[in-house]
């Protein structure tokens, strides 16, 4: 029986794929659980169109990420923070803090796109790697004590 997968299923296929499975597996497992639907001409056409739109959206996101990474690469960002006389920050800076600073400059990134093993806890310069949709860049974060 031909079906269209509504969700990605291991060892069978990805969402939107048209697959041939046994009748019992389709009727008793996949379709009742909302994992698949019967493959009619109309539903196959709709699935192909949906998959095409999804692929176009992904390509657009990759292009935007590439432009952003090219624009941001090797840029320096200053972050003013409170610190003690030894240069230890009162509050460490994590991915969310870096994202907020980048947003002030007009860059839209998420915390997941920033590679940071641990919070930044001292005043100084740090090279931070960014990775978005397979495109990467490196920025310099300069942590400065506010007066």
pLDDT at position 124, please? 94
Domain 2-61: give its CATH architecture: 3-Layer(aba) Sandwich (3.40)
pLDDT tens by residue, 24-38 = 999 999 999 999 999
Question: Would you say 134 and 62 are in contact if contact means Cβ atoms under 8 Å apart?
Answer: yes
Cβ proximity of 70 and 39 under 8 Å: no
Q: What is the pLDDT of residue 50?
A: 87
Q: Are strands 2-5 and 114-115 parallel, antiparallel or unpaired?
A: unpaired
In 46-134, DSSP assigns E strands to 76-81, 88-93, 114-115, 120-122, 124-132
CATH fold for domain 69-145: Ribosomal Protein L9; domain 2 (3.10.430)
Using 50, 70 and 90 to split pLDDT, how confident is the model at 22? very high
Q: How far apart are CA 106 and CA 116, in angstroms?
A: 21
The per-residue pLDDT for range 71-109, each reduced to its tens digit, is 999 999 999 999 999 999 998 999 999 999 999 999 999
Q: Domain spans of the chain?
A: 2-61, 69-145
Q: Is there a contact between 31 and 3 (Cβ–Cβ < 8 Å)? A: yes
pTM of the shown model: 0.70
Q: Which of these, 56, 44, 57, lies nearest to 16 by C-alpha position?
A: 44
69-145 matches 2-61 in CATH topology: no
């Amino acid at each position: 029986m031909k079906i269209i997968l509504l969700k990605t299923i291991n060892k069978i296929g990805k969402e939107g794929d048209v697959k041939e499975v046994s009748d019992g597996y389709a009727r008793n497992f996949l379709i009742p659980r909302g994992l698949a639907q019967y493959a009619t001409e109309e539903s196959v056409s709709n699935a192909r169109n949906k998959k095409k739109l999804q692929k176009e959206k992904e390509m657009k996101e990759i292009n935007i990420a590439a432009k952003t990474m090219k624009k941001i690469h090797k840029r320096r960002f200053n972050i003013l923070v409170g610190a003690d006389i030894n240069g230890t920050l009162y509050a460490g800076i994590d991915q969310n803090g870096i994202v907020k600073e980048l947003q002030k400059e007009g860059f839209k990134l998420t915390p997941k796109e920033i590679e940071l093993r641990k919070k930044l806890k001292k005043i100084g310069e740090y090279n931070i790697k960014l990775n978005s949709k397979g495109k990467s860049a490196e920025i310099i974060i300069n942590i400065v004590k506010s007066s």
